[in-house]
Amino acid sequence: MLTAVILAAGSARRMGRLKQLLPWQGEKTILETVVETVLACPEFDDEVRVVLGAGRQEVEPVLRAIADPRLVLVDNPRHEQGMLSSIQRGVANFPPASQGFALFLGDQPLLTPALVAALARQWREGPPDFLVPVCRGRRGHPVFVHKKYLPEILAREDCDGGLRNLLRFHSDAVTFHQVDSPAVYIDLDYPHEYKKYRPKGE
């Protein structure tokens, strides 16, 4: 079984407003789009956890309207300490039947269910310790992690950079998977990026 962890706790200071709820396409927000993309993949047959922090009171009701029993909302009251704190909250009390997790960023609405499902199937064929998608020489997300690294993740204190230091330390255990879509490395940090990538006509 496979779990998903979606990071959506940041305060989006570079965007200047709560980007999780920025409109994306139709009536869907950025975060809704990402969550529904992941939920559309049956490969995630355990929990789909969304880690919330900044703006949780506004974001949570939007996600609770999504009717899927796999969806679990997790609060990170320490989100200002960095990305690793949200990852640690996302993997705490990990589902015992799950073999690992895929780490998503909540501001990657260009990901498609087909791309995500293909990456999940690739990971499940092994599964490798780590699977990282690469496009045009750039690494991206989702990053797939075997559950045997959970104790190490939970014990880490270097909150900046998410899992970057963990992957660097275990570089010989990382499998890189080439993909054709730059969606794996496109996230929306700044207003000009949001304007550039938002579907035309919206």
Domain boundaries, the chain: 2-197
Give residue 119's pLDDT band: very low, low, confident or very high (50, 70, 90): very high
Architecture (CATH level 2) of domain 2-197: Alpha-Beta Complex (3.90)
Q: Write out pLDDT tens, residues 89-114.
A: 999 999 999 999 999 999 999 999 99
98 touches 120 (CB < 8 A) = no
- pLDDT value of position 29: 94
State yes or no: pLDDT of 177 exceeds 90: yes
**Higher-scoring residue by pLDDT: 186, 10:** 186
- Rounded CA-CA distance 9/20 in Å is 9
pLDDT at 112 (0 to 100)? 97
Q: How far apart are CA 178 and CA 192, in angstroms?
A: 27
Q: What pLDDT shows up at residue 10?
A: 83
Position 156 confidence tier, pLDDT thresholds 50, 70, 90 = confident
pTM score, whole prediction = 0.95
Mean pLDDT of the chain: 92
Q: What is the pLDDT of residue 159?
A: 60
Average pLDDT over residues 143-147: 97
Q: Is 33 helix (H, G, I), strand (E, B) or coil?
A: helix
pLDDT at 88 over 90: yes
Report pLDDT for 192: 93
Contact 101, 3 (CB under 8 A): yes
Residue 160 is predicted with a pLDDT of: 63
Residue burial 183-193, b: 16+ Cβ < 10 Å; e: rest: bbbbbbeeeeb
Residues 6+ apart with CB under 8 A from 120: 2, 41, 43, 44, 102, 144
Q: Tell me the percentage of the chain whose pLDDT exceeds 70.
A: 97
- Element of type H or E holding 133: strand 130-135
Kindly tell me if the per-residue pLDDT of 201 is higher than 70.
no
